Structure 1
């Protein structure tokens, strides 16, 4: 069973599974999910909790002892395993698989890890735990799903934002859900009637959004000119080095050119498989490949080379205006003569 983190409370109210897998890159969602599971487990008699950070030095015998020995304080135990940031190696995978086979009704296992790769999703240890319980998606909501996330949080706090307020809250807090939570709590205190409008938000809040170069690249691939310009301005204000921006977009342009060339020999599905493009990212790349032909991509790479030379040799001149130009040209549809 797979659900988004914002549906976990609803699921826990119906049933407590023997295993929960919390994976993603959003600290707030992981923290809230762990707390919700602890609370639900305590109500079911799991009064003792153990927490282990899994690495090459962990003592697995201690973990197995927790699973097999009856506690002096509670017959039911909650065991949290924090997996390594770099992923699960073969030795850890073997132990996890063995652990999954030894579980019983008085043990509740919570696995916590970062964003999963396709290989990890297909691993035997992962399937062994997922088949016994619930996989909770703790990824940061993307720009498309973030307004729905904002609306759900507002409902929980009895806030009633209009459509424009929802969009502003999403834009101002993108990539920073901790700040969103704090802002909504502040708005509850400021406006007891719960009504949220643009005027009230502008009077009460400041921007807390946090973008990375990957947000910018996604906007470029999708052809969203306004969004890409807004993100690039924010990156500039935050002091992100232009060289990092250049390297990131250079990699994408070269890959797009190679994919265009390869698409002449095989289907797009095969091209995506060759470059290991995630299913969620394929619409973005499809949009870019339909919009940009090989000639245009080569022109963009030439412009990028000029920007790089300027950045490294002309220290008195800013390369950011040219980066904005590059972003606009990458988003604009190809003009057919």
Structure 2
């Protein structure tokens, strides 16, 4: 079996078709595009029929082998596509995949799509049987530092060019959602003048969502602007934004600050610690200001507070989640009211 990166797949398909392809990854857009490449190459080689199976818990794996060994009434060759959403084929699925790979039918191409496979799965008997005949494409997520480059490449593939500010603005707006980025680039193709994309064009054309407003709340808190942060929080509440979404964003930022602060205590420079934590260059001043304002012990108390809010949202504590989100936002902004004793008493009472 050949182990391929996504950028190697197209070249490999031009040379030959493997009898089996295993696509593994957690990034929907990239997984979909890998599958599209395989299907297109297969169609060019006469695999004109496609049969899709979703291997859910009660899936009958005998269907797979029966279909593989049966002649099609409509095409000489077919693609047999199996989606295993939980990444675990189980004993029956493992045996079926092993059986198929021992004697792959010449008129059938098997395409198996799964989430990211862990080490134990790649040591399993079924995987070892598959890897003897399959091309394995493992899709890795695009890390935050690589996202601007990925966006730039997509824009160039669409026949356009963008300024650095425009690319960074789009990266900030889509917050790692590659599917959203691809959709926004398609929209920009309709309005770009001479294929040029500017930051002003991004600001006017790319839709802001409540999700972006949540991150706007975070930035205002990091900046230490408690009044603006509270106003944004109240606006999100009035718009019906789920408290869980806001808590997730606040807790994520607090964890990032804890990671950076801990690294700095160990002697790392801020820039290196921020890069390791996946902080965008344009957000570094905000994050650095927050690490100067908030001590590591204070951040750890804020994270405990966030855990308590999570319990309140789930009904496990008798407390108003929105009031506590307000308190958490104020404290992150620098209006600090928590101390170890107060925090312990609050969680004990409620």
User: Into which bin does the TM-score normalised by the smaller protein fall?
Assistant: 0.5 to 0.7
Instruction: Provide the residue aligned with 2:202 in structure 1.
Output: 201
Q: Distance in 2 between matches of 1:317 and 1:297?
A: 19
Q: 1:90 to 1:108 in 2, by over 3 A?
A: same
Q: Distance in 1 between matches of 2:51 and 2:308?
A: 56
Q: How do 1:114-125 residues align onto structure 2 when only pairs under 5 Å count?
A: 114-125=115-126
Give the aligned length: 281
How large is the RMSD of aligned CA atoms in angstroms? Answer: 4.4
Q: Distance in 2 between matches of 1:74 and 1:174?
A: 43
Deviation for aligned residue 1:204? 1.9
1:19 aligned to 2:16? no
Q: Does the aligned pair in 2 maintain the 1:146–1:174 contact within 8 Å?
A: no
- The gaps in structure 1 that reach 5 residues or longer are 216-224, 227-232, 261-282, 285-290, 329-337
Residue deviations 1:163-212, cap 9 Å, x none? 2211112121124333222211121121141111111211222236969x
Instruction: Provide the residue aligned with 2:323 in structure 1.
Output: 317
Q: Distance in 2 between matches of 1:309 and 1:64?
A: 48
Larger Rg: 2
Q: Does the aligned pair in 2 maintain the 1:85–1:113 contact within 8 Å?
A: yes
Q: Distance in 2 between matches of 1:243 and 1:35?
A: 33
SS at match of 2:94: helix
Deviation for aligned residue 1:320? 4.2
Q: Does the aligned pair in 2 maintain the 1:52–1:82 contact within 8 Å?
A: yes
Q: Distance in 2 between matches of 1:79 and 1:305?
A: 46
Q: Does the aligned pair in 2 maintain the 1:172–1:209 contact within 8 Å?
A: no
Q: 1:140 to 1:189 in 2, by over 3 A?
A: same
- The gaps in structure 2 that reach 5 residues or longer are 216-221, 224-231, 263-275, 278-290, 335-350
Instruction: Provide the residue aligned with 2:48 in structure 1.
Output: 47
Q: 1:86 to 1:137 in 2, by over 3 A?
A: closer
Deviation for aligned residue 1:126? 2.1
Q: Does the aligned pair in 1 maintain the 2:160–2:189 contact within 8 Å?
A: yes
Q: 1:23 to 1:210 in 2, by over 3 A?
A: farther
Deviation for aligned residue 1:136? 2.4
Q: Does the aligned pair in 1 maintain the 2:160–2:195 contact within 8 Å?
A: yes
Q: Does the aligned pair in 1 maintain the 2:47–2:78 contact within 8 Å?
A: yes
Instruction: Provide the residue aligned with 1:220 in structure 2.
Output: none
Q: Does the aligned pair in 1 maintain the 2:29–2:178 contact within 8 Å?
A: yes
Q: How do 1:141-156 residues align onto structure 2 when only pairs under 5 Å count?
A: 141-156=142-157
Q: Does the aligned pair in 1 maintain the 2:46–2:77 contact within 8 Å?
A: yes
Q: Distance in 2 between matches of 1:309 and 1:208?
A: 27
Instruction: Provide the residue aligned with 1:239 in structure 2.
Output: 241
Q: Distance in 2 between matches of 1:207 and 1:300?
A: 28
Q: Does the aligned pair in 2 maintain the 1:23–1:30 contact within 8 Å?
A: yes
Residue deviations 1:147-166, cap 9 Å, x none? 22212211211111122211
SS at match of 1:193: coil
Q: Does the aligned pair in 2 maintain the 1:174–1:210 contact within 8 Å?
A: no
State TM-score, norm by structure 1: 0.65
Instruction: Provide the residue aligned with 1:102 in structure 2.
Output: 103
Q: 1:301 to 1:185 in 2, by over 3 A?
A: closer
Residue deviations 1:261-316, cap 9 Å, x none? xxxxxxxxxxxxxxxxxxxxxx76xxxxxx9x997886566655776799843567
State TM-score, norm by structure 2: 0.63
